[in-house]
């Protein structure tokens, strides 16, 4: 059986300031980096072993993924980076 793991990026600096980020390429806050590490630990605790990753091109998403993969000792995994992953999420948030 296949498992699909969905992981939202950790807290960004603008999330911390209660600002909507949208497509702005805002970095993770310190708490966001801690959240990403915790996500990796939770994935490991549930005995999930991803073998392929998808992320947007935004640094907060890429950094979240890399931190989580580091916790899993799986930095070598193939990662597909694309703006297309942003389109599906953002379509309901515009306006």
Q: Which residues pair with 11 in a beta bridge?
A: none
18 is in an annotated binding site: no
Whether 65 and 87 have beta carbons less than 8 Å apart is answered as no
29 is in an annotated binding site: no
Give residue 70's region: left, alpha or beta (phi > 0; psi -120 to 50). Answer: alpha
15 is in an annotated binding site: yes
13 is in an annotated binding site: yes
95 is in an annotated binding site: no
66 is in an annotated binding site: no
41 is in an annotated binding site: no
The b-or-e profile of 44-67 (16+ CB within 10 A means b, else e) is eeeeeebeebebbebebbbbbbbb
46 is in an annotated binding site: no
In the annotated binding site for substrate, the residues are 8-15, 21-22, 60
**Binding site: which residues?**
8-15, 21-22, 60
């Amino acid at each position: 059986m296949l498992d699909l793991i969905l992981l939202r990026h950790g807290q960004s600096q603008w999330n911390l300031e209660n600002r909507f980020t949208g497509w702005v390429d805002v970095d993770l806050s310190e708490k966001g980096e801690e959240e990403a590490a915790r996500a990796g630990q939770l994935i490991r605790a549930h005995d999930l072993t991803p073998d392929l990753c998808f992320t947007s091109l935004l640094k907060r998403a890429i950094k979240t993924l890399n931190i989580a993969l580091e916790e899993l000792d799986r930095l070598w995994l193939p990662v597909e980076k694309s703006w297309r992953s942003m389109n599906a999420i953002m379509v309901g948030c515009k306006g």
